[in-house]
Amino acid sequence: MRILEANLTDMTQRLESLQVSYDNATVVIRTLEANLTDVQEEAWEKFSDGWKYFNGNYYYFPTDRKTWADSRDACVTMGGHLVIIETQEEQYFLQEQKPDNYCWIGLTDSAKEGEWRWVDNTLLNNNITFWAGSQPDGNDPLGQDCIGLWTFTNTGQLLWDDKYCGLEDIYICEASI
């Protein structure tokens, strides 16, 4: 009988401990839910005007034309950066948006020729690229250190092309919360 009483006491203590853990977890969950709601409201306020959501990020497609550097700065002013394309799905998403014939993205080799870096300073992953034909070719005598998306008129495909950074084109901004 004593063994049963000891087991019952032990089980009661374990149940009480589990109840305390459950109550603590419930408080944490409610706090996280409230924080998530705050973040969602902040994101909506910040990015609701013309921004498009895709796979955890927000994208903006301005229609004004700027140089690559001015485009980069404009995106930063809006709370983001020139788009960094990390997946095939993201490339397809951008293609579905049907941007103008040419638009800047956040890829450049202006710091070191041939070393392509995104605006966040990460190196280009050569396993995830969407170069057009023989690009990058650097054929412009002024240099072609900046990358844009170029729409092939015959296929409608949106691919990467190197271009002189001082030309003015539209651009794509990306931001996350």
Q: What is the CATH number of the domain that holds 146?
A: 3.10.100.10
109 and 90 co-located in one domain: yes
114 and 147 co-located in one domain: yes
pLDDT tens digits, one per residue of 74-128: 999 999 999 999 999 999 999 888 766 789 999 999 898 889 999 999 999 888 8
Higher-pLDDT residue of 77, 158: 77
25 and 88 co-located in one domain: no
DSSP state of 96: H
38 and 121 co-located in one domain: no
38 and 57 co-located in one domain: no
Higher-pLDDT residue of 107, 158: 107
21 and 42 co-located in one domain: yes
Predicted confidence (pLDDT) at residue 46 exceeds the cutoff of 70? no
pLDDT at 35: 65
Mean pLDDT of 30-46: 65
- % of the chain residues with pLDDT over 70: 87
76 and 99 co-located in one domain: yes
pLDDT at 48: 65
Give alpha helix (H) positions in the chain. Answer: 2-47, 68-77, 88-96
What is the span of the domain harbouring residue 42? 1-48
The answer to whether the beta carbons of residues 173 and 82 sit under 8 Å apart is yes
95 and 129 co-located in one domain: yes
Beta bridge partners of 117: 108, 123
Last residue of a domain, one of 14, 30, 48: 48
Higher-pLDDT residue of 41, 61: 61
CA dist., res. 37 & res. 57, Å (int): 17
CB atoms within 10 A of CB 16: 10
Domain count, the chain: 2
61 and 120 co-located in one domain: yes
